[in-house]
Structure formats: structure tokens, C-alpha cells
Structure 1
Amino acid sequence: MKIHLCLLLLAAGISAAPHMSSMAELLTLLQQMSEATTKDMQNLRIETPDNIDDVNCISTIFEGTEQLKTSPAMKKFSVFFQKFERLKQSLTPSLAKEGQCDTERKNAAIFIEKLMTFIRKASKNARA
């Protein structure tokens, strides 16, 4: 019985490891993206949630990521956008209907910082 339980826990840990690894990879790529933000990118204004913890703002985050993806300066970060798209389903809580989200148009650097916070919190929730 003990061996069976150990094998189940090991299997659960192995299946969670790629998800955590992907989150860490996303954060690394976002950090590089943040550092590479040029003055041209500062002119890009993205609808950014005031409160990143508000579950009503998740679709706003995804819409902002899509807008960021269309920027020519972000082409070299296509790997991030591909990986983020794959994890999008696991990051989206099952909400019947999203409510009101308070947002403000902010520059790309601020949006990227908020996106990093969102992914960090999502990875902590996945571990819990």
C-alpha cells in the first residue's frame, strides 16, 4: 500500500513538473522582454487591469497579450507567445461570466510587469 501511494505521489509530481517548468520559462522570457522594451514600445498603450488579482480581468490580460504580440518589436519573442497560448487554458479559471474590470491604458513596460505578476501568482496557485 505504501509503495502504491509513493508511486501515485511521484506520478503527480512528474505531471506537475512540466507545468511549473513552463511557468518559470514564461517568467524568464517576460523578463527578457521587459529588458528589451525600447522607447518605441513605450508609445504602445495596452489596456491594463488596475488590480491584477481581480478574476474579472483575466480576459483583459489575454487581450493585452494579443496586442503586445502584434508589435513588430515583439517578433523575436514568438516563443513566449506560443508557450503562453498553450498555458492559457490552465491559467484561465472556469468562470461562468466575467464581471466588470477596472483598467487603464498603460505603456507596454507596465503591462509586461503586470503580466509577470499574474503568471507568478498563477504558478503559486498551481502549486497550492
Structure 2
Amino acid sequence: MRIHLYLLLLAVGASAAPPMSSMAELLTLLEQMYESVTKDIQIARIETPDNIDDANCVSTIFEGTEELKTNPALKKYSVFFQKFERLKQSLTPSLAQEGKCDTERKSATIFIEKLMTFIRKASKKPRA
């Protein structure tokens, strides 16, 4: 009976764990993608928020990620895009109230750097 209780507690603990490991995994995959992009993958410039901390720019970040996703050279990072899509809901503040976001078309490497910063900051926000 004790073994069943321990297994039940282990299962509950694993399911209740915050997605921090998912965030760390996302960052690892994103760093690998960054390395690929800096070495040999040509990607058109991506609309990038000037200020990654601006809550008005969250949808711009997601749109840029979609742009990366459509690049055939980045298909091997489909795991990143799937995981990012799953976490999108928890990372998304109220987009219905989103205002103007100042952006500029920048290289994919700069966009990915800002995306890494966004994910790091989102992982540090307290959960409700």
C-alpha cells in the first residue's frame, strides 16, 4: 500500500511541477537554432520589437516566431516550435488590449536573441 501512495505522490508532484524545465528546454533549442542561423542559414529580416519588455509587442514576437517556423532550413527545429506553441498561452498576456508596438525589420539572429530574452523573462514571472 505504501508503494502505491509513493507512486501516486510522485505522479502528482510531476504533474504539478511548473513548466520551468520546458522553458529551459525551449532556451536550449533556441540556442541551437541561433547557432545554425549564425553559421549558414539565410533568413529574411524579421519584424522585431524595439523593446522586448513592452507588453504591446507580444503578438509581434509570436508573428516573428511563425516567420521562423516557415523557413525550410529550420524544419529540424520543429520540436522548438511545438513546445513554444504549447507555452504560448501561458506567455500571452491579454492580447485583446494590446496597443502599438514600435518595431524594425532586423536579422534573424537579433530576433532570436530578443526571443531568448523574452522567454527568460517570462520564465521568471510569478505564476498566478
Q: 1:12 to 1:96 in 2, by over 3 A?
A: farther
Q: Paired residue for 2:122?
A: 122
Q: Paired residue for 2:23?
A: 23
1:95 CA displacement: 4.4
Taking the aligned partners of 2:71 and 2:113, their CA distance within structure 1 comes to: 17
Q: Paired residue for 2:59?
A: 59
The Cα offsets for residues 24-67 of structure 1, whole Å up to 9 and x where unpaired, read as 000000000001114442x4110000000000000000000000
Within 5 Å, which residues of 2 pair with 1:30-109? 30-37=30-37, 38-41=39-42, 43-109=43-109
RMSD: 2.0
1:96 CA displacement: 3.8
Taking the aligned partners of 1:78 and 1:112, their CA distance within structure 2 comes to: 15
Q: Residues 56 and 99 of structure 2 are in contact (CA less than 8 Å); yes or no, is this contact kept in structure 1?
A: yes
AA in 2 matched with 1:112: I
1:14 CA displacement: 5.8
AA in 2 matched with 1:28: T
Relative to the length of structure 1, the TM-score reads 0.83
Q: 1:78 to 1:13 in 2, by over 3 A?
A: closer
Q: Any stretches of 5+ residues in structure 1 without a counterpart?
A: 1-10
**May I ask how many residue pairs the two structures share in their alignment?**
116
Taking the aligned partners of 2:62 and 2:96, their CA distance within structure 1 comes to: 17
| Counterpart secondary structure, 2:106 | strand
AA in 1 matched with 2:56: N
Taking the aligned partners of 1:126 and 1:25, their CA distance within structure 2 comes to: 19
Taking the aligned partners of 2:92 and 2:86, their CA distance within structure 1 comes to: 11
Of all paired residues, the percent bearing the same amino acid is 75
1:16 CA displacement: 3.4
1:13 CA displacement: 8.6
